[in-house]
Structure 1
């Protein structure tokens, strides 16, 4: 089956999206010919896209093969440390710069996402959209670029913390607190609320990973 969308996305974007949405997961081997057939493009742009993804550490070598990279405990800790700082800054700047329309969209996102609580994958996608909207509301293009790199690396984690029992409900409450602080133009409060949100998600993920090691 071809997943190509001519005129919309190049090979790099198509492979990246496939990793981000879990079509290809950490440890999966990526083969040029298979990718070219799946996405309906020639092997040359596929090869160039794979090289670019390897440079960005989203793919790694296993002998002569390229596989989707995975994060060990230390790498995950480092990623969350960077994410916490950058996301906190984004929330602070959003409280300063977000338009009333952007704040309205954030509030509507939180409300709409309650309908997804029984679908952790859909909720994870909605969570990504919510955070991206905060990034954009910061009105700082360089920060948006760095956070995009961070969120690409988040795709290298095999599961979402939102799959943990009860985490979805708690996460949406945290999202509400972030939006309330942004609406009040409380820069410190918005930053603190988002940093706490990321910290709680990290704790949830650490617990899940610990449990999987015990039962694996």
Structure 2
């Protein structure tokens, strides 16, 4: 096993594994197991784990490192920031999105309609949709901040899209966001996306109230 791979490789590999749910809140991360899984030496893995701990993606459980989880207050704070930044991205997208970007967003909404019975696939498609809006804002600094927010979203053990009725609502809300962007109506796009995030947050709070053990991960 070589030490030539940069630390950022190990960091990105671990972060991606958390993002897609290979490692979930509460899971213990073992340096040697990660090195073997990703085919890198233990030194860059150790450095990556230290970096992720500094960023609060990992937490200490005794001598072990585990994937962090968000308590109620952290969750509320995250959604406040997410709603404002996402709303701003939609407002800027209404101003700057190209015709091609609008067509891509519309096609994403249509593709979502085929995933209504697959919450996991719908959740992945949802992340791609929001990322496309971020890019359509044409503001690199906003995109960077939203990347940080969505990295923290990976610390949620479940997806709110899995809630009964939520997939259909999500598609309708996405469609409203896209049409506001297509119309160049920044205020409407901002409101539509903020309302979308608010409904997602409300759904998550309901899920957590019915399954409080999820919040204790």
Structure-2-length-normalised TM-score? 0.94
Structure 2 unmatched ranges of 5 or more: none
- CA deviations 1:98-132 (Å, max 9, x no partner) are 00100100000000111111111111010000000
Residue number in structure 1 paired with 2:102: 103
Residue number in structure 1 paired with 2:37: 38
Paired residues for 1:1-216 under 5 Å? 10-213=9-212
Q: Structure 2: how far apart are the matches of 1:12 and 1:71?
A: 21
Q: Structure 2: how far apart are the matches of 1:213 and 1:154?
A: 18
Q: The residue matched to 1:10 in structure 2 has which SS? A: helix
Q: Structure 1: how far apart are the matches of 2:212 and 2:10?
A: 35
Indicate how the Cα distance of structure 1 residues 214 and 61 shifts in structure 2: closer, same or farther if over 3 A, else same: closer
Q: The residue matched to 1:67 in structure 2 has which SS? A: strand
Q: Structure 2: how far apart are the matches of 1:48 and 1:122?
A: 32
Q: Structure 2: how far apart are the matches of 1:145 and 1:40?
A: 28
Q: The residue matched to 1:61 in structure 2 has which SS? A: strand
Alpha-carbon offset, residue 187 of structure 1: 0.2
- CA deviations 1:141-192 (Å, max 9, x no partner) are 0000000000010010100000001101100100000000000000000000
Structure 1 unmatched ranges of 5 or more: 1-5
Q: The residue matched to 2:211 in structure 1 has which SS? A: helix
Alpha-carbon offset, residue 214 of structure 1: 8.5
Alpha-carbon offset, residue 19 of structure 1: 0.5
Q: Structure 2: how far apart are the matches of 1:159 and 1:105?
A: 27
Residue number in structure 2 paired with 1:3: none
Q: Structure 2: how far apart are the matches of 1:166 and 1:136?
A: 29
Q: Structure 2: how far apart are the matches of 1:190 and 1:67?
A: 38
